[in-house]
Amino acid sequence: MKLLKKLLFINTILMAKIFRKRTPLLVSWAITHRCNNKCIYCNIWNVNSKELNTKQIFPIIDELSQLGTQIIHFTGGEPLIREDIGIILDYCHKKDISTSIASNGLLVPQRIGELMKLNLLGLSLDGPEEIHDYIRGAGTYRRVIEAINIAKDKGIRVRILAVLSQLNLNVIDFLLEKGREFDAPIIFQPATHLLLGGEKENPIAPNEKEYKRAIDRLIANKRKTKYIANSISGLKFLYHWPYPQKIRCLSNLISCRIEGDGRIYICFRNQYQGNQVENKNLSVRAAFSRFSSLYCDRCCCASSVELNSLLAFKMDTIFNSWNFI
């Protein structure tokens, strides 16, 4: 992100914190629930939901632009499974909105030509080949490494997402080495007790004591390496998983979640439902304005934790965000 946009980003944070000025600065958009993978800890691929088409998506992007949105993070499911993803990214670029995508990497080689205006490509990597393939399917490790190399060769910024589970808590050093190898920061996200998008228990949720030891290692390594995208304040908060500290969540001042069918929530994990954007009598502004701060005792979402640390004026998070926005 260019310097001027970074300064504008920080200014919006200040206005939200000091004057409670609400701006959907950063929007997470689950543009589809469809996925070409079936990861052990996820059930989102099995959630049946409608999707907005391209013509329905454009007016939402128009209004987000008018409201001051600077970043749209497309997630899913697998965003690259949508045939129109390149058209959507180009439209955001025309509106001067930065874009990022969370992907499993399987379709990157086929779709790379449509990703050239992407600001950040997030790719999931959970450990060495045997661990990653066990979680995400045979051959997926090789293909995500291929996706990282292709993106880097094309000059696309890459960030790695590592989901901490019982299978990879002892391979932190391997993941950090991959971050150094590819010059790609890693954001560490604890797995949930329940399947993502489901109600069954997650079979690879980490052991609490081993998880805490892994977070301690990350905090110690954060002082030595630039390849951990979480801030120290964020990691200290995530340390308390699976019983996180209760916080007054202020992320609704600067962010929201849009589902594939157009519904708006405060966040994915605490789906306080707003109203469907497609409702002709309710604008994005009106839906966003209906949210109020809430006290949350369930947040273990690394990105939401970072946003709240930012709004709490944690200095290490501010410096950390400057490097990664």
Q: Are 99 and 67 in contact (CB under 8 A)?
A: no
Name residues whose C-beta falls within 8 Å of residue 63's C-beta, 6 or more positions apart in sequence: 283, 284, 285
Q: Does position 37 have pLDDT exceeding 60, yes or no?
A: yes
Lowest mean pLDDT among 98-112, 120-134, 259-273: 259-273
For the chain, give the mean pLDDT.
89
Looking at the structure of the chain, the number of domains it has is 1
Assess if residue 152 is contained within a domain: yes
| pLDDT tens digits for range 274-293 | 444 444 445 788 878 877 76
Q: How far apart are CA 248 and CA 308, in angstroms?
A: 9
Q: Which two tokens stand for residue 296?
A: 């949350």
Assess if residue 36 is contained within a domain: yes
Nearest of 201, 159, 217, 164 to residue 183 by alpha carbon: 159
The whole-number average pLDDT for the span 105-132 is 97
222: confidence class by pLDDT, cuts 50, 70, 90? very high
Q: Are 80 and 111 in contact (CB under 8 A)?
A: yes
The whole-number average pLDDT for the span 3-11 is 75
Burial of 144-155, coded b for 16+ CB within 10 Å and e otherwise, reads: bbebbebbeeee
Assess if residue 319 is contained within a domain: yes
Q: Are 285 and 300 in contact (CB under 8 A)?
A: no
pTM assigned to the model = 0.92
Assess if residue 10 is contained within a domain: no
Who wins on pLDDT, 275 or 4?
Answer: 4
- Per-residue DSSP letters for 233-244? HHHHHHTTTTSP
Assess if residue 251 is contained within a domain: yes
pLDDT > 70: percent of the chain: 94
| pLDDT tens digits for range 42-68 | 999 888 888 999 999 999 999 999 999
Assess if residue 3 is contained within a domain: no
Assess if residue 170 is contained within a domain: yes
Lowest mean pLDDT among 94-103, 286-295, 306-315: 286-295
Give the residue numbers spanning the domain of 137.
21-324
Give the β-pairing of 186-190 and 26-30: unpaired
What pLDDT is stored for residue 282 in this prediction? Answer: 56
Domain CATH code at residue 310: 3.20.20.70
Burial of 306-319, coded b for 16+ CB within 10 Å and e otherwise, reads: bbbbbbeebeebbe
Assess if residue 278 is contained within a domain: yes
